[in-house]
């Protein structure tokens, strides 16, 4: 559940604050792997491969720890939401402008986080 002003639980999207760092690590790992795939799409290199592997290893390690402590549904949707925002930011940084459908899809993912956490 998204915290409301004065919400004593301190939870964000149904995730306890102490696990948010792991959510960010997992999301960053998946986003990093996606960036590596984008690099590999233009020119498959050892660097692109290393970025992909590093991203998936970081995401896997963080997610395994998270799943020992939290529900799969909430964790997975939260990671996907954060990853979506990271990938869209990267796409914008390299000059790829998201179209209206992409932005609407990202909005639905974020709305899904809010819905699933209640």
Report d(CA 73, CA 113) in Å as an integer.
Answer: 10
- pLDDT band at 7, cuts 50/70/90? very low
Say if residue 16's pLDDT is above 80. Answer: no
Tell me: pLDDT of 12 over 90. Answer: no
Task: State how far the Cα of 117 lies from the Cα of 21, in Å rounded to an integer.
Answer: 18
DSSP structural state of residue 44: -
Q: Is 70 exceeded by the pLDDT of residue 1?
A: no
Q: Is the pLDDT of residue 74 over 70?
A: yes
Task: Identify the burial level of 83 via C-beta atoms within 10 angstroms of its C-beta, where 0-12 means exposed, 13-18 middle and 19 or more buried.
Answer: buried
SS3 67: helix
Q: What angle do CA 66, 78, 30 make, to 5 degrees?
A: 75
Alpha helices in the chain (DSSP H): 17-42, 46-67, 72-93, 100-116
């Amino acid at each position: 559940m998204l915290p409301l002003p004065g919400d004593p639980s301190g939870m964000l999207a149904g995730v306890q604050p102490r696990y948010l760092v792991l959510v960010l690590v997992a999301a960053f790992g998946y986003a990093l792997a996606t960036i590596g795939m984008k690099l590999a799409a233009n020119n498959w290199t050892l660097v692109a491969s290393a970025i992909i592997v590093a991203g998936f290893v970081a995401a896997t390690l963080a997610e395994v720890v998270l799943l020992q402590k939290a529900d799969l549904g909430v964790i997975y949707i939260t990671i996907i939401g954060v990853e979506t925002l990271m990938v869209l930011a990267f796409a914008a940084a390299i000059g790829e402008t998201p179209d209206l459908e992409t932005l609407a899809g990202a909005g639905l993912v974020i709305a899904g986080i809010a819905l699933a956490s209640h």
